[in-house]
Chains A and B, each alone.
Chain A
């Protein structure tokens, strides 16, 4: 007999059984706590069925009858674009002040890092509520919200990119007597440029989704159109808008992925 202890299969089974029971109990308790009954989907199925019937067929005629639809799509695209460009630019600048290997004043660097972290934790729906009250509903409030969230997301992503830049090429330029700014311009920026563009495309993709969501909360664009269609019970219009939105998002996502793939493939 060796003294070596093994995990006995029976003990393992007991552990798994206990854990599973705890999870089931917890889920049941929480469901009852917020009165969430998944079975309703089946017992009240006719409800959903009626709703679906009302949603079909989608009223694609909407796109011909109502020229506001095309405009609202353009508006959403523009919101996402501006949010990405402005937020990306500000996030880009801030990330240099937050990167350990670039900004050498620890106190201010931690301040930049905390600032970026702080704007990242505020949900965008809270931000839009504030802006809708401050500047009124519409795409202006939407773009401002997207700029704020983009700064947070992009600032974090890009700080990490900067911190991963190779040290050696920078050192060799310092050896030729270059200044910090020259090293940033001729070593850091060329190194991080592909990741910069790739992140911008990724954030644009995120911002498209966000722009639609924000529309519902008063941010304008096609999200707002969808919300209005639902509110006045024009369900067939809503279905047409939803298919349109899905189609648009697929195009944006695939284009973004394609361009990013090309960009990173070229990196070697």
Chain B
């Protein structure tokens, strides 16, 4: 479970990037965040794992010991401990191109093994086998030894998901995980993410309202740093034009 309470972020020039954002996400929920470009979706997501420090407000999350902590106030070691329990997948995949698929999956566990061991020995055989299990879940086990640079976009995102699975997180964040993919691969990725939300809360930023309507259990819409909608994933035409404004027409074109 994660609870965001009144987070705000203002630029020195007074522009409000995030304006009193609050929401709470529980296990079993797959929340889709919608909004036009520049609305503040990425910044919201980045506040959830401490990549961004809001000026005010708090993000409450249970750490590995089951204690409630405020991610906004953590730093260094404590922040790393919490991040072990938060999986993240990205629009641009953000994998290490020169490492193999399997190594990229195992990297997800770095937070929970000692720096000494990870540098002077590396991962264990048991971890490699477990990582293969994660790759099997996304049907990528046959490419385990390939360099990531040789994969297609859809395959790279599946590696990203396998890494998140292997990390054993208590929360999964995804920032536009399907925006670089063709419709077929986008669907495939959504189908892989969906079952994860039965185990842990999943929060994803999406640019495809038809996808969030189909796969998410709840939609939060952000406009100019404010939440303007939080509820059922099916949105009416009017609600969409409220969320996206002028951008709606390009969005409709993409969907076709």
Residues of A within 8 A of B (CB): 168-169, 171-179, 181-182, 185-187, 190-191, 193-194, 268
Contacts and interface: CB of A to CB of B under 8 A. Distances in A.
Given A185-B118, A185-B119, A176 B97 contact: no
B131 interface: no
A182 B112 CA distance: 11
A177 B82 contact: yes
Contacts of A186: 96, 99, 103, 107, 110, 118
A171 B94 contact: yes
Contact of A178 (B85, B88, B92, B111): B111
A18 to B, nearest CB: 52
B239 to A, nearest CB: 32
A172 B88 contact: yes
Interface string B87-98: 110101011111
Contacts of B86: 175
Given A182-B115, A186-B118, A268-B149, A177 B80 contact: yes
Nearest to B95: A169
A173 B110 contact: yes
Interface in B115-153: 115, 118-119, 147, 149-150
B110 A171 contact: no
B84 interface: yes
Contact of B97 (A171, A179, A181, A191): A191
Contacts of B108: 176
Given A172-B94, A175-B83, A175-B86, A190 B111 contact: no
Contacts of A168: 90, 92, 94
A186 B86 CA distance: 19
B190 to A, nearest CB: 20
A176 B111 contact: yes
Nearest to A166: B97
Interface in B4-46: none
B112 A177 contact: yes
B83 A176 contact: yes
A254 to B, nearest CB: 26
12 contacts: A175-B86, A175-B88, A176-B88, A176-B107, A177-B80, A177-B112, A178-B107, A181-B119, A186-B99, A190-B96, A191-B97, A194-B98
Interface residues of B, number: 34
Interface of B: 49, 51, 80-88, 90, 92, 94-99, 103, 107-112, 115, 118-119, 147, 149-150, 163, 167
B96 A191 contact: yes
A175 B90 CA distance: 11
Contacts of A187: 96
B121 to A, nearest CB: 11
Contacts of B81: 177
Contacts of A176: 83-84, 87-88, 107-111, 163, 167
B127 to A, nearest CB: 13
B84 A177 contact: yes
B90 A177 contact: no
A182 B99 contact: no
A190 B100 CA distance: 10
Nearest to B166: A176
Nearest to B148: A169
Contacts of B118: 182, 185-186
Nearest to B84: A177
Nearest to B110: A178
A186 B123 CA distance: 11
A263 to B, nearest CB: 12
A169 B160 CA distance: 11
Given A168-B90, A175-B49, A190-B99, A181 B80 contact: no
Contacts of B98: 190-191, 193-194
A176 B49 CA distance: 10
Nearest to B88: A175
- For A171, A172, A173, A194, the residue with the greatest tally of chain B CB atoms inside 10 Å of its CB is A172
B92 A182 contact: no
A173 B80 CA distance: 11
Nearest to A193: B98
B97 A169 contact: yes
